[in-house]
Every structure is written in C-alpha cells, then in structure tokens.
Amino acid sequence: MERLDKILASQGTLSRRDVKELIRKGLVMVNGVVVKDSSQKIDENKDVVVLNGEEISLKKHIYIMLNKPQGVVSASESEQDETVVDLVPDSLYRKGLFPAGRLDKDTTGFVLITDDGDFAHKILSPKNHIFKTYIAGLDHSLGTAEIEMLENGITLADGTVLKEAKVEILEDGDKPFVKIMICEGKYHQVKRMFAAAGNKVISLHRSKMGNLELDSTLKPGECREITKEELILVQSNKNV
Ligand code: URA
C-alpha cells in the first residue's frame, strides 16, 4: 500500500506538488470515485487509478520494446540528439527510464527500455549468456574460415577478448546478410568483430533479445509494453 500522491508522482513527469493540485481539483479517481485526499492509501495490485481520464499503470516497473530508428542515441538524455527515451509515449513514460544496453546511433532495431536496474543487469551480464541477435549487412561475402574465427571467439588487436558468437549466412552474394548472436555488449562489438574478420558492417539491426523477437508490427520509432510472458523470453538463454 502506498500513498496516492507518491504513486502518481513516481509514475510520470508530474511532481508531487502537481499531483496534489490535480487531486485537489478532483481530477483523480480511484476505483471510479473522485478522491481529494492525497494521502489515501492505494493497493498497487488491485486499485484502478485514473488521472485526467487516463488509467495509470501502477506496476512497480515497466519494460518497453522500441524499434529504434537510425539517428537516435541509446541514452536517457542528450543535449544534441533525440534519445530512445524521447520516443516513449506519455502513456508509457515514467521517471528513471533508461535503455538496457546500447545500440550505436546508426544501428536499428530492438531496444529494451526500463526503470528496473536489476533486470537490466541480469540480461546484460555476459555471465548469464543471454544472446542478442543482429542482422548485419556486410561489404563482401564471408568465408568459412572467417565464420569459424568469429564462432571461436577472438582477441582484437587492442587486446579486447570477445567471446564466441554464432554466425549464420542468411543471404549470400556480393553484399550478404548474416545473422550473428552474441552474449556480451562491448563497444561497437559486432562492427569490430567483422572488421577483425576482414569485412565491414554496412547495416546493423538488432532483431531479438534472448528469445524475444522484435515485434514486426512496430514501425521504426514505435514502442509498446512488453508482456509478462515476453519478459520470460527475454531472460531465456536457451537458444530456440
Ligand atoms: N554491435 C555494434 O557494433 N553496434 C551496435 O549497435 C550493437 C552491437
């Protein structure tokens, strides 16, 4: 049980003072009844709170899937650039959102945005072997020796050690497309891996985190909440 004003202020952009004012004006309803007492206790698991006609999500944490477009940075705030958190609509926005793992500015695809630090740590820690799947467009075809090299894990010229990856050719030819799965997220990792194999990444798209595919109905820049069942898939390190 938590105070009504505290719950509302922790969900979105409103300060506790703004919340108190809205409550005083009669713009907040709990279970269909206008409540003017900011200190009323709310049960997050069963009460329905409506602010200005819109139902407020009372969940402790939120998990959002974004189809990141190019040109947007994987950060919570930036002076120069639009961020992935800027793309979260008001209905899903709350304080403390951040991307769980970064994609480069020119990489597209699945970014998981949350306010749950423990969850982010869990899915990003290489120890947990949660694979992130990328589709990379390459500059030229990839030989078996190069695939083997990436699959065995490599040490880059600067001494960075990269764990083994899984590589599959999706479309062969002059400008092939390959699927690559990695379970760590070092800086420019996929680009550096292919560079070490004598190739160049022309385009990069993250299609999957753990066993959860990016929802194909999300257009670039669109996001939606991840369901409880889907959250289990994100944390799955069994490759299915
Ligand atoms: N590897 C990269 O090189 N870039 C990304 O954005 C993600 C993985």
Atom of ligand 1 nearest to the CA of 74: 6
Give me the pLDDT at residue 226, please. 96
- Total structural domains within the chain: 3
Pocket probe for ligand 1: among 135, 178, 181, 190, the residue whose CB has the most ligand atoms within 8 Å is: 190
Give me the pLDDT at residue 12, please. 64
236 alpha carbon – ligand 1 mean position (Å): 21
Q: Which of 104, 115, 118, 174 is catalytic?
A: 104
Give me the pLDDT at residue 168, please. 96
227 alpha carbon – ligand 1 mean position (Å): 26
Q: Tell whether 121 and 138 lie within a shared domain.
A: no
Q: Tell whether 103 and 220 lie within a shared domain.
A: yes
Q: Tell whether 139 and 169 lie within a shared domain.
A: yes
Atom of ligand 1 nearest to the CA of 191: 3
Q: Tell whether 190 and 136 lie within a shared domain.
A: yes
Residues touching ligand 1 (Cβ under 6 Å) are 103-104, 107, 188-191, 204
Q: Tell whether 115 and 157 lie within a shared domain.
A: no
Do the domain assignments include residue 240? no
Q: Tell whether 135 and 205 lie within a shared domain.
A: yes
Pocket probe for ligand 1: among 74, 103, 182, the residue whose CB has the most ligand atoms within 8 Å is: 103
Q: Cα–Cα distances in Å, from 29 out to 13, 15, 52, 94, 95?
A: 19, 18, 9, 19, 22
The token pair at 97 is 């959102």
pTM given for the model: 0.85
Atom of ligand 1 nearest to the CA of 103: 6
Give me the pLDDT at residue 137, please. 98
Q: Cα–Cα distances in Å, from 125 out to 50, 98, 202, 239?
A: 38, 16, 27, 17
* pLDDT tens track for 185-219: 999 999 999 999 999 999 999 999 999 999 999 99
- Strands (E) in 54-131, as ranges, are 54-55, 63-68, 98-99, 108-114
CATH number, domain with residue 107: 3.30.70.580
The token pair at 238 is 């069994």
27 alpha carbon – ligand 1 mean position (Å): 45
Token pair 């997050």 in the structure block, residue: 44
105 alpha carbon – ligand 1 mean position (Å): 9
77 alpha carbon – ligand 1 mean position (Å): 20
Pocket probe for ligand 1: among 66, 68, 107, the residue whose CB has the most ligand atoms within 8 Å is: 107
Q: Tell whether 72 and 20 lie within a shared domain.
A: no
Range of the domain at 51: 2-56
Q: Tell whether 72 and 122 lie within a shared domain.
A: yes
Give me the pLDDT at residue 35, please. 95
* pLDDT tens track for 65-119: 999 999 999 999 999 999 999 999 988 888 899 999 999 999 999 999 999 999 9
CATH number, domain with residue 153: 3.30.70.1560
Give me the pLDDT at residue 59, please. 79
Q: Is 104 marked active-site?
A: yes
CB proximity list for 170: less than 8 A, separation 6 or greater:
135, 176, 177, 178, 179
Hey, is 144 helix, strand or coil?
Answer: helix
* pLDDT tens track for 132-168: 999 999 999 999 999 999 999 999 989 999 999 999 9
Hey, is 153 helix, strand or coil?
Answer: coil
